[in-house]
Amino acid sequence: MAEYEITTAGIRDMARFLEWADDEQWNPGKLDHLPFHAADPHGFLLGRLDGEPVTSVSAVRYGADFGFVGFYIARPPVRGQGYGIRTWQAAMKHLDGRNVGLDGVIAQQDNYRKSGFRTAWNHVRYAGVPGWEKTAGDIAVVDAGSIPFGSLASYDRRFFPARRDAFLSLWVGVPGHTALVALREGELRGFGVARPAESGARVGPLYAASDDIAVALLNSLSAAQQGAPVALDVPDVNVAAVRLMERLGLEPTFECARMYTRDTPDIDMAGIFAATTIELG
């Protein structure tokens, strides 16, 4: 009889998570495993069948009462045999008692609803090479490392349900990531990160106090990619963000639903022009 075991994944195991995500055409960032693992070293689970890795899931705990599920994958040879749901159950046990979020692909949304998740909004992935637009001269776009980390972490907290300092520190500091902030009259008004992915680059988060701030950040983030296409996961409830993507010539390529088990968190949706990552929130 086959032996199935679910264990905590180490950081070396997480390279496999990215490989599997790429096989699913999710286009992960090339170094995502480093900041991801730092977010919750106990929050990544790997299922092995007779010693062979066959399933994965992330169940990352943030603060005292929030969690996020991602990387829910069963490899094709074992699908439909119950191994995936056992891994899912272990993830939900890890997050027991918390409000849990996820970004669910269309094919799985009914299953997530059966597990108590409710749709809050949709994320639409817009991709391509964004058109350049001139912005006001009073917007200064500078390296995120030039401002105190505490200020950046506090700003990020406006848009995310819990502090995530360990993750954020690596998200802006990993080699190859371009992390920028926008200042207006010396005040922090926007933040964006671009990272190399298996195809082009992913931009997230993209936070901005206004449309022109978002444009200024995206101009600089896109320029840093030297002509490579970028992809952004845009919440459809932010109408200004959707209109901006369309205006800049980006095309919708993928859609998923942001879902929660409890109330939708109280965050600044009007300022989120792109989510950080659909894998970890």
Cα three-residue angle 158-143-166, rounded to 5 degrees? 50
Reported CATH class of domain 126-274:
alpha beta
User: What percentage of the chain reaches a pLDDT higher than 90?
Assistant: 94
Q: What is the 3-state secondary structure (H, E, C) of 148-169?
A: CHHHHHHHHHCCCCCCCHHHHH
Q: Are 44 and 14 in contact (CB under 8 A)?
A: yes
The band of 106, judged by pLDDT with boundaries at 50, 70 and 90, is: confident
Q: In sequence order, what are the residues at sequence separation of 6 or more whose Cβ sits closer than 8 angstroms to the Cβ of residue 253?
A: 125, 126, 127, 231
pLDDT at 1: 62
What is the pTM for the complete model shown? 0.95
pLDDT at position 136, please?
82
Which pLDDT score is estimated for 53? 97
The confidence score (pLDDT) of residue 131 equals 93
**4-102 adopts what CATH topology?**
Aminopeptidase (3.40.630)
Same fold, 4-102 and 126-274: yes
| Residue 4, phi then psi, degrees to nearest 5 | -115, 130
Identify residue 143 by its one-letter amino acid code: D
Enumerate the domain spans of the chain. 4-102, 126-274
| pLDDT average, residue stretch 58-64 | 97
pLDDT digits (tens, 9 = 90+) for 123-132: 999 999 999 8
Kindly report, residue by residue over 164-208, the tens digit of the pLDDT: 999 999 999 999 999 999 999 999 999 999 999 989 999 999 999
